[in-house]
A and B are shown apart, each in its own frame.
Chain A
Amino acid sequence: MPVISYFFLGIFLLILQTSLITILPEWVGRPDAFFVLIVFVAIRLKFVHGAVLLLVLGLIMDIFSGIFLGIYPITYLLLFILLHGIARRLAIHESVHRIPLVVASYLFVNSLLYTFASYLAPENELIWNWKEILMQILLLAIITLPLFTLFETFDAILTPKKGAQFFLRSKNKNTFRD
């Protein structure tokens, strides 16, 4: 059930991303809320659930973006495996790590997309535009924490047990003790 809810949330954010947000003037930038959800799903859901959901969202992203089918599912799956692997060793669930985590994930995903697109059409030179990427990173840094809070509330509503933990959790819990 949570997977389906996340799927519909992803579709909603993708529609928002491709329609309403693109109307914003370029100097304002286009905050990528869909990508923040991708990272949230990658670190929050269980392996099978998360992998399937990101593959499906990647397939849908292929429809709305780019010309090479398949590069988004592969990229999201690689991101998922990477984040899941890191999550076992590092405390990336902590709120202080969220912004660097999302920014690093964004750079990773765009590096992969750039590499795949360059490999699939080597005759068409892509330009790595640092100005646009830094602008996106800045916007992601701004929207990450509010969106993570929103997604956590959404997660708490979807899973009542987690919800109870979320609302009743102790403030100064030492997560490294567990």
Chain B
Amino acid sequence: MRKKNKKSKQIQLFFLFGSILTFILILIASTVGRQELNGPQRLALDLIGKGQFVFTRLTTGVANVWADYIALVHIRDENKRLREELDKFKATNIKYREAVATNVRLSKLLQVKDSLPPPTLTAQIVGRDPSLWFRTIIIDRGSSEGVEKGMPVVTVEGVVGQILDTSPNYSKVLLANDPNSAIDVLLQKNRVQGIVKGNGSNGFNLLYVLKNADVEKGDAIVTSGLGDIFPKGLPVGKVSEVTKSKRGMFQQIDVEPSVDFSQLEYLIIIMHENSLADQDFGKQYH
């Protein structure tokens, strides 16, 4: 009885393995020469692919964590070094920008200096008036370099003021926007004369212009050359507002200076009081 049972089990196993082998053989036979996966292959691919995906993700994750950990060991030093380098480059960049800006300013100044009657002297501002009532500055040129009281001071944009006092190495300049400053000027378009006085802030008033004079907003104002202080033709500003009140003979004219007094840095002192217009005239006719 036992022998019979053993034999039947062997037969069952034989059939089972035979069936599997047959199935595999059929599978192989059916796939030979084809390029597309069949159903079971697709299923296998799908399942194994999932496994691969999970495993790969896990491996990658662990690898990344490890890599990050390794990187963190050095990242602080590298960060510190990079920050130092960045600061250094920023400082260098600021220096370069300042150098370029100074170069531009000085180039413009040089152009103006060439166009002014010689001799001229370039000066730098070293101090400003701290009070609310006066507008003066201190420059780094003095009587030892020939600077004298009354000499005009200009910049690329136009008239700045005139020398008020000097010491051997420094001078005090009365700015044109000081209420105590007065400059003879004329309107460029129709040669109407007037006097520009500072209003104490960053502006001028044009005085003694008769009501019948043609003055409009935007008209350019230049030095007249009268008084032998400023050369003729230097830009002073532009008319910003014209008011004709019923009373009085004159117009009330506000002038926007051509110079920004808050941005002054380098200035030109005109040491010789020749007229620019005279010089041009001389060049043309002599």
Contacts from A to B (Cβ < 8 Å): 14-15, 17-19, 21-22, 26, 30, 32, 34, 63-67, 110, 113-114, 117, 121, 124-127, 129, 132-133, 136
Contact = CB atoms under 8 A, between A and B. Distances in A.
A62 B172 CA distance: 11
Nearest to B205: A125
B127 A126 contact: no
Contact of B130 (A22, A125, A126, A133): A22
A18 B180 contact: no
A177 B119 CA distance: 72
Given A19-B127, A133-B132, 7 more contacts: A18-B128, A26-B262, A64-B129, A67-B134, A127-B201, A129-B201, A136-B132
B174 interface: yes
A124 B179 contact: yes
Given A18-B138, A26-B262, A124-B180, A63 B130 contact: no
B99 to A, nearest CB: 19
A65 B178 CA distance: 12
A127 B129 CA distance: 17
8 contacts: A17-B130, A64-B127, A65-B134, A67-B178, A114-B133, A121-B180, A126-B179, A136-B132
Nearest to A114: B133
A65 B136 contact: yes
B180 A64 contact: no
B233 to A, nearest CB: 26
A21 B128 CA distance: 9
Could you tell me the dominant secondary structure of chain B's interface residues?
Answer: loop
A142 B181 CA distance: 34
Contacts of A18: 127-130, 138
A67 B136 contact: yes
Nearest to A32: B130
Contacts of B201: 127, 129
A136 B130 CA distance: 11
Contacts of B178: 67
A124 B130 contact: no
B126 interface: yes
A140 to B, nearest CB: 13
Q: Which 9 pairs from chain A and chain B are nearest by CB? A: A18-B127, A22-B128, A66-B134, A124-B179, A65-B131, A17-B130, A65-B129, A124-B180, A127-B200
B256 to A, nearest CB: 17
What interface size band does chain B fall in?
A: 20 to 34
A165 to B, nearest CB: 34
B199 interface: yes
B138 A124 contact: no
B164 interface: yes
B179 A66 contact: no
A15 B129 CA distance: 11
Interface string B126-163: 11111111101010000000000000000000000000
B113 interface: no
Given A124-B197, A126-B179, A66 B133 contact: yes
A67 B128 contact: no
Contacts of B164: 67
B241 to A, nearest CB: 16
A13 to B, nearest CB: 10
A118 B172 CA distance: 21
A14 B201 CA distance: 22
Contacts of A117: 133-134
Given A67-B164, A67-B178, A67-B180, A113 B131 contact: yes
Contacts of A21: 130
B262 to A, nearest CB: 7
Which of the listed residues B131, B133, B179 has the most CB atoms from chain A within 10 Å of its own CB? B133
Contacts of B130: 14, 17-18, 21-22, 30, 32, 34, 64-65
B66 to A, nearest CB: 53
A176 B2 CA distance: 127
Contacts of B199: 127
Interface in B184-225: 197, 199-201
